[in-house]
Structure 1
Amino acid sequence: MSIMKRMSLIMKSKANKALDRAEDPRETLDYSYQRQLELLTKVRRGVADVATSRKRLELQLAQLQQQADKLQSQAEKAIAVDREDLAREALTRKAGLAQQITDLQAQHAALQAEEEKLVLAQQRLQAKVEAFRTRKETIKATYTAAEAQTRIGEAVSGIGEEMGDVGLAIQRAEDKTAQMQARAGAIDELLASGALDDPLAVGGGDDIARELEALSAGSDVDAEIARLKGLGAGSAPGQLGAADPLAKPHVEGEGAR
């Protein structure tokens, strides 16, 4: 398949999907019903036009028939007064009217048959339109109920578009909260284990400062050990252990004061 054909197919599929989302079956049904009503109106207008033509022919036939009857009466009166020539003329004119009457009667019969067909078609179409209207309203009511039920179900289950956005927001908030809790717990563990010093704590600082403090503490320990050794050398055996470690060292000249 060529690139142009693929692009055309993709565009058509996307357009079809967009139209499917935008289409409302209720609006489509109402539009179809409106078109059927327009068609029914045209059929009724056609029936009215044919009936009007038929009525006009009937009036013409009635006028021609009156003229023929009048000519017949005139011919009879002319014969009565021995005017055969006038009677002949009247009957000749009557014969011409008779031909017109025959033609109009044929047209009238054709129009009447056409009118009957149109009336029957109108009745059938009207019955179909009424049936479609009933079915349309039933489908619309069913669709509306199904749409409402779907929206309620989506709202309850949270799978709707709006509720889905709310659910995603809640999920993101919960994820961030869990991440912050985990970070806080990890920091507490590192502080407790000493792996992460508190910069505000006493004795806190960088590595060099801690190393200097360790050296200073080691020197103090060595000085204390030397002092204790000195005390042990100047005392009698057994007195070192009895000596009060908290006793103040003797300072020469203290008794004089």
Structure 2
Amino acid sequence: MGILSRTSYVIRSKINSILNRAEDPTETLDYSYEQMRDQLQEVKRGIADLTTQKKRLEMQKRRLEDNVEKHNEQARTAVQQDREDLARRALEKKKTKMNQIEDLDRQIADLQKQQDSLIDQKNELQARIEEFRTKKETMKARYEAADASSTVSEAMTATGEEFEDVGRAIERAEEQTEDMEARAAALDELKETGAFDDVMSDKDNIDRELEELSTGSGVEAELETLKSDVGGGETDTATETDAESVDEEVTPDPEPAGDVDESDLEALEDDVDDSEVEAELAELKDEESN
């Protein structure tokens, strides 16, 4: 096979493949049906034209038959008038017309045969068209049902081109979501370990740990204080008595609530705060020694 032959063969195969992919069976069936109907119309027009020609010959035959009858009457009249020459001439014309009639009969018979043949072909073609129309509708229904079933199957299995694109989009979304979740978890872990210092704060990791320790110790101290308050009623009573004595020393001459000296109140608050601080400090020292 030469280069040109191979090239031509490859081109034809490519074109045929493209046409096969672009072909819609339902459209092809409809087009074939229309072509058959056009052929039927051509056959009908041929029958009509043939019948028209036959009718013209029949009309011409009838005119010749009328002329034959006319020449026959002329010959009879000439014989009655002893004009044999005229009678002979009339008979000769009659003979000529009869020969023409015979030719027309043969032509009319041939046209009739052709007409009958075309009518038979037309009837056969029409029957085939009706049969094809039924098959066409059946094939179209089957094709549409198969196409719908294939579409549903592709949707269920996600094997179609569009569904493959959707599946890939979902996979990409899942991957991006997993990446974002992993990144968020990594940042949280690094933040907990102190690997990332807060840019808005001047405290380092050591300062934050000391703050956590001090906060925890303060909570423990306050918890111990609450336990001691609940468990030791006598200690509370003594503390209240000391507080009253302190109040008496600070305010020997009580005055109405509205006339209390602000300097005395501040001194009282300082004494109370100092005592509480000293008590919590003693408790912290006891905890550390234990």
The aligned runs of 1:160-179 (5 Å cut-off) are 160-179=160-179
Report the equivalent of 2:129: 129
| 94-103 vs 75-84, which moves further | 75-84
Between the two structures, name the one with larger relative contact order (CA 8 Å, sep ≥ 6): 1
Deviation per CA, 1:170-213: give whole Å up to 9, x if none.
11111122223334444555666x5x7122284359xxxxxxxx
* Cα distance change on mapping 1:148 and 1:100 into 2, 3 Å: same
Report the equivalent of 1:197: 195
* Cα distance change on mapping 1:129 and 1:204 into 2, 3 Å: same
| C-alpha distance in 1 between matches for 2:175 and 2:3 | 43
Report the equivalent of 1:148: 148
The aligned runs of 1:1-257 (5 Å cut-off) are 15-188=15-188, 197-200=195-198, 202-204=203-205
| C-alpha distance in 1 between matches for 2:3 and 2:83 | 100
Secondary structure of 1:118 counterpart:
helix
| C-alpha distance in 1 between matches for 2:30 and 2:140 | 9
How many correspondences in the alignment? 206
C-alpha displacement at 1:11, in angstroms? Answer: 6.0
1:76 partner letter: R
Report the equivalent of 2:272: none
Deviation per CA, 1:138-196: give whole Å up to 9, x if none.
1111111222222222223322333222221111111122223334444555666x5x7
| 36-45 vs 18-27, which moves further | 18-27
C-alpha displacement at 1:129, in angstroms? Answer: 1.2
* Cα distance change on mapping 1:67 and 1:38 into 2, 3 Å: same
Identity %: 46
| 64-73 vs 181-190, which moves further | 181-190
| C-alpha distance in 2 between matches for 1:147 and 1:123 | 35
| C-alpha distance in 1 between matches for 2:114 and 2:6 | 54
TM-score after normalising by structure 2: 0.62
Report the equivalent of 2:227: none
| C-alpha distance in 2 between matches for 1:99 and 1:72 | 15
| C-alpha distance in 1 between matches for 2:7 and 2:68 | 80
CA RMSD of aligned residues (A): 3.1
* Cα distance change on mapping 1:146 and 1:72 into 2, 3 Å: same
C-alpha displacement at 1:41, in angstroms? Answer: 0.7
1:69 partner letter: E
1:203 partner letter: D
| C-alpha distance in 2 between matches for 1:163 and 1:88 | 99
Deviation per CA, 1:1-49: give whole Å up to 9, x if none.
9999888777655544433332111111111111111111111111111
TM-score after normalising by structure 1: 0.69
Higher helix share: 2
Contact 1:198-1:204 within 8 A present in 2 as well = no
| C-alpha distance in 2 between matches for 1:63 and 1:12 | 62
1:199 partner letter: D
| C-alpha distance in 1 between matches for 2:9 and 2:67 | 75
